[in-house]
Amino acid sequence: MSEVSRVFAESQDVCGFDAGMEGELQLGDVKGFATFSVFFDAGGKKRQRTYKVTEFHEVIEKYSVCSDANVYVTQHQYFRWNRQKASVKRLSTCYVDLDYYREERLRHRTAESLASEVVWFCEEGGAPEPSAILSSGKGLYLKWYLEGIPSGKMAAWDRLQRELVKRFGYFGADPAARDASRVLRVLGTRNQKNGEKVRPVWLNLEGGKVKQYRFQEVFDSILPYTLEEVTGYGKGEERLLEREERAFKAKERHIEDRDLGLHLDKRQLSFCSRGLHVFSDLQKLSELRGWDKTGIPDGQRDLYLFWLVNHGFLGFLGSYHPEVYHEVAYTLKALVPTWRMDRVHNALSAVYKRAKEAHQGQPWVSFEGRLYPRLYTPSNARLVEDLRLTAQELEQMDYLRFGGSEAAQRKRKRREDGKLTQEERSLLAQQRREEALRLQEEGASHTQISEMLGVSERTVRAYLLNR
């Protein structure tokens, strides 16, 4: 079990965290006159009321027990009797609203299991863990409680909010729910769409208290700018900063793409391409055998899943980028729906370790004087044999159908080639030429390539000469 799964499996008392305690974190430390607003929606009738912060406990106690209405509260202090952005006095929280139920790959997840994934995502991706993860009754709120900052740093706060939404986009972050005047559901109330209670799911505790961040700490870990570079800029300077940010993002995307195996030398690209092709074919195989609906039967599961996970990571050449990990994990989970996510993580752990080693400067291993990826690169023939692919299944494969291990299969391919049109023969020859080049890059001899492709060594030499 991963560390994150272990922590979530342990008993963590979140029941004592209520609207009053959250209010202390968000609206405490009052200096002078300050207000907050409550938005009330009952039976289609909507109204908003604004109160003094000093009345918070009395007001929130009244609304938090309301069971027949949607109740929302502002997240900051204001100095006027409204919740407009221009009226913000003190910024108290950063937040992301995850509408994960809108994502096909996530909607079946429980709030607790998805929260564990979010924490893991933060650990691996270098983002600060939220102070609290709350269930909104349908989605999740991620909240970073701040040691309050003045409204003069609104530009920096806005920029941080935009980046947080992008960072958690994979989990269904709502880009419209990042503004300073946003209201979010009150803890203890119920979401009237489904009757589910708004409740804490996970707390980031330090010394028995929910963690409050210095704004600088969160900002520096997420954005490439200092507060001084963002705060206090005029419109002209703001536009300049926007251009600089776009340039940085372009550079960042280039770096991320390279990390995902897209900016690689010719030999690396060969392995990367192979991984993606095989990963796609293995997914297709699960559909042909009905495993995507029934799950993988015992006796076939371990080997299939091992090769699926291996080629999923190989496709990104050892990247352990959180999004890559999650894509592989959710593919695996769909094939074994009875598995808990901790078991999925365990199934990924061995290959994931190799992926991390590859990403952290050890991408190659030496074998018989040649370098190979740290992840496994079995031949097509090996995969056909291990997975016991039938001739009918091979017909449906886009990549694995080239290189079946049985001589009869190669003969059948030759007979079929004679029935192809000239255009089809040219396409097949091109595909075989690309496969021959890839196999040569992996260190295969002309004889081995000939056997794998079912063509003569003379043809192989022709493929390799006409590069």
Among 60-74, 254-268, 345-359, 407-421, name the most confident range: 60-74
Task: Give which of 266, 264, 314 is closest to 441, Cα–Cα.
Answer: 266
How many angstroms from the chain centroid is the CA of residue 82?
37
User: Is 60 exceeded by the pLDDT of residue 301?
Assistant: yes
User: Is 90 exceeded by the pLDDT of residue 45?
Assistant: no
User: Is 50 exceeded by the pLDDT of residue 305?
Assistant: yes
Percent of the chain topping pLDDT 70? 74
Q: Which residue has the higher pLDDT, 448 or 266?
A: 448
Average pLDDT for the chain: 77
In this prediction, residues 324-334 reach a mean pLDDT of 73
User: Six-digit token pair at 421?
Assistant: 């049109």
Give phi and psi for 300, each to the nearest 5: -115, -10
User: Six-digit token pair at 316?
Assistant: 């990104």
User: Is 80 exceeded by the pLDDT of residue 362?
Assistant: no
pLDDT given at position 270: 65
Percent of the chain topping pLDDT 90? 20
Q: Which residue has the higher pLDDT, 357 or 261?
A: 357
User: Is 50 exceeded by the pLDDT of residue 415?
Assistant: no
User: Six-digit token pair at 397?
Assistant: 């494969």
Superfamily of the domain at 3-223: RepB DNA-primase, N-terminal domain (3.30.70.1790)
H-state helical runs in 320-398: 322-335, 341-359, 380-387, 391-396
Q: Rounded CA gap, 389 and 130, in Å?
A: 46
- How would residue 259 be classed by pLDDT, with cut points 50, 70 and 90? very low
How would DSSP label each residue in 203-242? E-EETTEE--B-HHHHHHHH-SS-HHHHTT--HHHHHHHH
Q: Rounded CA gap, 77 and 30, in Å?
A: 9
pLDDT given at position 364: 65
Among 79-93, 287-301, 431-445, name the most confident range: 79-93
In order of 83, 179, 181, 182, 327, the CA distances from 94 in angstroms are 16, 10, 12, 11, 27
Q: What is the tens place of the pLDDT at every residue in 169-180?
A: 888 899 889 999
User: Is 60 exceeded by the pLDDT of residue 342?
Assistant: yes
Radius of gyration of the chain (CA): 28
- How would residue 2 be classed by pLDDT, with cut points 50, 70 and 90? very low
- The mean-pLDDT minimum among 17-26, 177-186, 211-220, 262-271 falls in 262-271
pTM greater than 0.85: no
In this prediction, residues 61-76 reach a mean pLDDT of 86
- How would residue 95 be classed by pLDDT, with cut points 50, 70 and 90? very high
Distance in angstroms between the alpha carbons of the first and the last residue of the chain: 48
Exposure string (b/e) for 118-155, b if CB count within 10 Å is 16 or more?
Answer: bbbbbeeeebbbbbbbbbbbbbbbbbbbbebbebebbe
In this prediction, residues 380-394 reach a mean pLDDT of 85
Instruction: Give the alpha-carbon dihedral of 288, 289, 293, 295, to 10 degrees.
Output: -140
In this prediction, residues 453-460 reach a mean pLDDT of 78
pLDDT given at position 208: 86
pLDDT given at position 183: 94
- How would residue 218 be classed by pLDDT, with cut points 50, 70 and 90? very high
Pairing of β 209-210 and β 205-206: antiparallel
User: Is 50 exceeded by the pLDDT of residue 255?
Assistant: no
Using an 8 Å Cβ cutoff, are 43 and 87 in contact?
no
- How would residue 131 be classed by pLDDT, with cut points 50, 70 and 90? very high
Q: Rounded CA gap, 329 and 303, in Å?
A: 16
Q: Which residue has the higher pLDDT, 339 or 9?
A: 339
